[in-house]
Structure 1
């Protein structure tokens, strides 16, 4: 029997790649959207997940075996302080509870590296401290703790993928990589405030593939989703400039960062337990990303 999977947030940036991988593997995919579905061959359901009645009716209609929950407000920088974070915590509990109540067996939730209290070094699922410094981190961590407890008592399988910095096609946000690419393509100033810091960047298709691997592997608990090889932002930006051109338009800020200089992700669980490794190097990912932006011009 083909496994039936619900993917929330499937019309989002990460979701579109997750559902593509699941379809290629032969799963029956049911995807939720609020505004507009993507032209991809899944069964689409228009659901406001912040509405308890709509959420419960949707789960009752589909009766999925598995749930990959990606939906959340995550557009920087507003999402760090948005009151909607608390609504997403509540509605996510409703979604998962009703899913389990109707026989669901496996839950994957997309978390974030922001859940960590950032300190110098590699963030570890077991050794690093959790952050409650803003609404986004606090609500994600609260849901994660609830999910871990609930899964242990109710007897279903659950994993939490803490996704670090992403880049790739279809990112229309104001993150570093797309802002650098579009500025240089438009022959405008490409400004990077902190060129000296190191951060862990993962290509979007690799991130989606890692989440699907986590789902299929059966691993439980928190797992970092990242490349595991932090890159200095100045080198990242200059690599973009070497591909796009107009490197003379790159500028870096002179002030010292308030955040730690080096923040990476310990991907030991992802590598050893999930047995997953990135397919694309940073150079390959940037080439593919820049090619996509060029095609949109």
Structure 2
């Protein structure tokens, strides 16, 4: 297949690009190269004859039309998004603009291309979303594909809106789509404002390791390369008009996660005192969902997919990758907001 991947220089998008090229697909990587993008993430495939890069913004309708006409993709995998919850609290407008309006522009470009080319049956629009659209769980239960939407942050609300747009374009215009909602990703090339890289880099620098509240929020962690495999599985074999929840089957509290990372660093990069002594509990962020958990029954039973990497395996690989790739993360430290506490601007003027 020739796959148009939006956001292919980001964390999850680049994993999809690398995996798709490895699996023999052609890839057109469309990325606006915002603060969270990094072309080093796809440097290993940049010279591959099946790879092409387009520096463009999904909100630019003219650019999207040109790219569809020039590359004639068989499928779209839409991963481009503003994705950091804390940033969405401080500046929600960028999330609405990119995640909602950008998805609309991309849908219209895909629909125009699909229609003008005779509505090819094999065309797919794969929208990649998050479990955060479902809101927060209590101590028990899991999100299924039938769970009502109840987003609690500007980020999750913008992703919920984009999910609804995709479904509407399928129902109204017949655009063949599949939709996936995933749990928290982690792994190599994880942008250093997210929890796991923050813990690793703060620990290495000897600084306090910030943990929101008492660290009792629970997440289901999905190794990013497993996620890329799942996404390509859904693209190729998922039923049109169907949603698939993708989970890592690795639930853990934030504080337990942080302590596991500290223990790995004690072994891999020992220092005079245990890294866990750097943990510092900080004021929780507003609207912080207590727990996310995915029920992966549908993707497992219908498509035969389940994660291959346990949390302990994935954390060890991730910590080792960050230790071995210091030039990559050092180059990102000066980018806007990286290393700063964000998401506290509740009540401030927009």
**How does the TM-score come out when normalised to structure 1?**
0.90
Instruction: Tell me how many residue pairs correspond in the alignment.
Output: 294
Q: CA deviation at 1:252?
A: 5.4
| Pair 1:57-2:66 in alignment | yes
| Pair 1:247-2:275 in alignment | yes
| Pair 1:122-2:122 in alignment | no
* Distance of 1:154 and 1:13 partners within structure 2: 31
Query: Residues 68-122 of structure 1, C-alpha deviation per residue, up to 9 Å, x if partnerless?
Result: 0111112341135421233222232222222232226201111112211212131
Identify if the C-alpha distance between structure 1 residues 268 and 237 changes in structure 2 by more than 3 Å, giving closer, same or farther. same
* Distance of 1:71 and 1:256 partners within structure 2: 28
* Distance of 2:17 and 2:191 partners within structure 1: 19
* Distance of 1:198 and 1:289 partners within structure 2: 20
The question of whether the paired residues in 1 share the 8 Å contact of 2:136 and 2:291 is answered with no
SS at the partner of 1:83? helix
SS at the partner of 1:122? coil
Q: CA deviation at 1:250?
A: 4.0
- Residue from 177, 192, 201 that aligns with 2:196: 177
After the TM superposition, which segments of 4 or more aligned residues of structure 1 sit over 6 Å from their partners? 254-258
Aligned-residue Cα RMSD (Å) equals: 2.3
Provide the residue aligned with 1:106 in structure 2: 124
Query: Residues 183-206 of structure 1, C-alpha deviation per residue, up to 9 Å, x if partnerless?
Result: 222233323233333211111111
* Distance of 2:54 and 2:284 partners within structure 1: 47
Q: How does 1:1-297 map to 2 (within 5 A)?
A: 3-35=1-33, 37=39, 38-39=42-43, 40=45, 41=48, 42-80=51-89, 81-88=91-98, 89-103=100-114, 105-120=123-138, 121-126=141-146, 128-193=147-212, 194-219=214-239, 220-245=241-266, 246-251=274-279, 253=281, 259=288, 261-297=290-326
Unaligned runs of 5+ in 2: 115-119, 267-273, 327-350
Structure 1, 245-254 or 280-289: larger mean CA deviation = 245-254
The question of whether the paired residues in 2 share the 8 Å contact of 1:198 and 1:263 is answered with yes
Identify if the C-alpha distance between structure 1 residues 242 and 101 changes in structure 2 by more than 3 Å, giving closer, same or farther. same
SS at the partner of 1:171? coil
Unaligned runs of 5+ in 1: none
* Distance of 2:206 and 2:220 partners within structure 1: 27
Identify if the C-alpha distance between structure 1 residues 95 and 191 changes in structure 2 by more than 3 Å, giving closer, same or farther. closer
* Distance of 1:87 and 1:197 partners within structure 2: 29
